[in-house]
A = this chain, B = another copy of it.
Amino acid sequence: MAKKPSKTRKYVDMRYIMSPKSVAIIGASEKAGKVGNAIMQNYVDVGFQGRIYPININAEGSIMGYKAYRSILDVKRSIDLVVISVPAKAVPGVMEECCKAGVKGIIIVSGGFAEVGEVELQKRVYDIAQKYNIPVLGPNCLGVMDTRSRNDTLFLPTFKIDRPKIGGVSFVSQSGSVGSSTLDLISGEGFGLARFISYGNAVVIDEVDLLNYLAHDKYTKVIVFYIEGVKRGREFIELAKKVTRLKPVVILKGGVTELGASAAHSHTASLAGSAQAYEAVFRQYGFIEAKNLEELLYFAKVFDTQPPSRGNRVAVITNGGGHGVLATDALYLNGLVLPDITAESKERLRKTMPKIVNIKMPLDIGGDAGEERFSAALDILEDDPNIDSIMSITLFQTPGADEKVADAIIRHGTARKKPLVVVSTGSTYTKSHTSIIEGAGVPVYDSPDSAARALAALLWYSNYKNKVVE
């Protein structure tokens, strides 16, 4: 593993890695099955707006309609980013050429370095980066996806992996497979992504650089990390201490058990620490820890859209009694409470709800509740000073729940007066509504339990921030 200079070194400039105006793909090919073919095809397919230069040592004429070059030195125009996909042994030579050509950033997707014991080869990559002072992402990574500029180096077959829409969550993954499959999973959710970064062996750009970059990135509202080990642990947490005062950082740590750590070692040649040490550090430094992939999604979407929580009192509105019971359990088991609403709220609810509605928490507004009851209840509970956040259980199987109810929820959930999360359990009809609700910026959960976990995470971070930011 290449040694890093002291902590005084500057952060790496990510601009040209992430949002280049021109890209050269070294190893570009028309041969299906080659990584360089998938990358080139992808740049064409996703509609990258900048210039594209395919480079291949055997190139003749053009590749996919773009004029091809045998060497980057033949291009003779300024190039922001180079994506290198050639055999590991050829990488140092190619890098030298790129640096001589004056490129501004390099992504090495090729594997075959420290992760398979080729430590010396990786050291040469590091040395060249140092010599030319050039930002390098990888090797052994998927690279990046930038939803706005459509700079997208993913070399997995396009039809196998959906792309998320544009949004405020940025996702950094040490593991390419966790990164790409989670990216695909996120595409099925209603929320959007700003940046995706798979950084592999981190020979130059590492966790510290990426955390710093995303902290200052105006498009990134929530930072999500999947990490196995952190190379500059001390600097990472010291920086995190500052970043978590500004933005929520959700972290999923692979290798929290000892044997997990040994699996991580064979995977990306990093050394994972013990579960206990990481967990304590995460809490102390303000990270929001996700215990699994599901929580990573639950937390990302609530932080992306909802305002901070001022306390642990969660009002529950429901159009299904049983879900109210499950929500009560889930809130208490996650350290939240069902509040007593004010006498004024009770009076207002009594005036607007039918007699059959029992004015207490959880507020079961009935299986026949439509837009009118949902809206009135949300209005009243938003005004109530005894309530810190709201869980609206909206079961779309009921006769009254329709697009008007969805609209009412969107109206309230995007006003950001108080955190609002929705629970909707179901399939086709339900999902046709929840994808609109979530797409508009109100997080939706399958169960009261997952919604309660999201609200608990939101509260924990809000409290942390209040404590550290005087």
Q: Which residues of A contact B (CB under 8 A)?
A: 33, 116, 156-157, 159-162, 173-182, 184-185, 187-188, 226, 228, 254-257, 259-260, 263-264, 266-268, 272, 275, 291-294, 319-326, 328-330, 332-333, 338, 356, 358, 360, 362, 364, 367, 395-399, 424-431, 446-450
Complex Cα–Cα for A450 and B293 (A): 9
Complex Cα–Cα for A322 and B367 (A): 44
Chain B residues in 8 Å Cβ range of A263: 321, 324-325, 328, 362
Contact of A320 among B162, B175, B424, B425 (CB under 8 A): B175
- Nearest-neighbour CB distance to chain B for A139, whole angstroms, equals 15
Q: Verify A182–B259 contact, CB threshold 8 A.
A: no
- Nearest-neighbour CB distance to chain B for A262, whole angstroms, equals 8
Complex Cα–Cα for A294 and B28 (A): 44
The chain B residue sitting closest to A330, CB to CB, is B292
Q: Verify B185–A329 contact, CB threshold 8 A.
A: no
Q: Verify A328–B257 contact, CB threshold 8 A.
A: yes
Contact of A157 among B184, B399, B430 (CB under 8 A): B399
Given contacts A175-B320, A177-B367, 18 further A-B contacts (CB under 8 A): A157-B399, A160-B397, A160-B430, A161-B397, A175-B322, A175-B323, A181-B320, A182-B425, A188-B426, A188-B431, A255-B329, A260-B332, A263-B328, A264-B325, A266-B321, A267-B321, A294-B447, A294-B449
Chain B residues in 8 Å Cβ range of A182: 425
Q: Verify A185–B256 contact, CB threshold 8 A.
A: no
Q: Verify B116–A356 contact, CB threshold 8 A.
A: yes
A to B CB contacts below 8 Å, 17 in the list: A161-B427, A175-B323, A175-B325, A177-B397, A178-B425, A184-B427, A188-B428, A254-B322, A254-B329, A255-B328, A255-B329, A256-B333, A259-B328, A260-B332, A292-B449, A294-B446, A294-B450
- Nearest-neighbour CB distance to chain B for A292, whole angstroms, equals 4
Contact of A426 among B181, B291, B425 (CB under 8 A): B181
Contact of A177 among B179, B260, B319 (CB under 8 A): B319
Q: A173-B322, A260-B332 are in contact. Are A293 and B399 (CB under 8 A)?
A: no
The chain B residue sitting closest to A184, CB to CB, is B426
Q: A332-B259, A447-B292 are in contact. Are A177 and B228 (CB under 8 A)?
A: no
Listed from nearest, the 9 A-B pairs whose CB atoms lie closest are A175-B322, A177-B320, A178-B322, A292-B449, A267-B321, A181-B425, A254-B325, A188-B427, A293-B447
Q: Verify B429–A161 contact, CB threshold 8 A.
A: yes
Q: A180-B397, A263-B362 are in contact. Are A293 and B427 (CB under 8 A)?
A: no
Contact of A322 among B159, B174, B396, B448 (CB under 8 A): B174
- Nearest-neighbour CB distance to chain B for A324, whole angstroms, equals 5
Chain B residues in 8 Å Cβ range of A362: 263
Q: Verify B328–A267 contact, CB threshold 8 A.
A: no
- Nearest-neighbour CB distance to chain B for A356, whole angstroms, equals 7
Chain B residues in 8 Å Cβ range of A157: 397, 399
Q: Verify B259–A178 contact, CB threshold 8 A.
A: no
Q: Verify B293–A425 contact, CB threshold 8 A.
A: yes
Complex Cα–Cα for A179 and B321 (A): 11
- Nearest-neighbour CB distance to chain B for A263, whole angstroms, equals 5
The chain B residue sitting closest to A425, CB to CB, is B181
Complex Cα–Cα for A72 and B325 (A): 38
Chain B residues in 8 Å Cβ range of A333: 256-257
Contact of A449 among B178, B293, B326 (CB under 8 A): B293
Q: A358-B266, A425-B182, A426-B184 are in contact. Are A228 and B322 (CB under 8 A)?
A: yes
Complex Cα–Cα for A438 and B267 (A): 29
Complex Cα–Cα for A381 and B395 (A): 44
Q: A156-B398, A177-B367, A181-B395 are in contact. Are A324 and B256 (CB under 8 A)?
A: no
Q: Verify A267–B447 contact, CB threshold 8 A.
A: no
Q: A267-B364, A330-B292 are in contact. Are A397 and B322 (CB under 8 A)?
A: no
Q: Verify B332–A257 contact, CB threshold 8 A.
A: yes
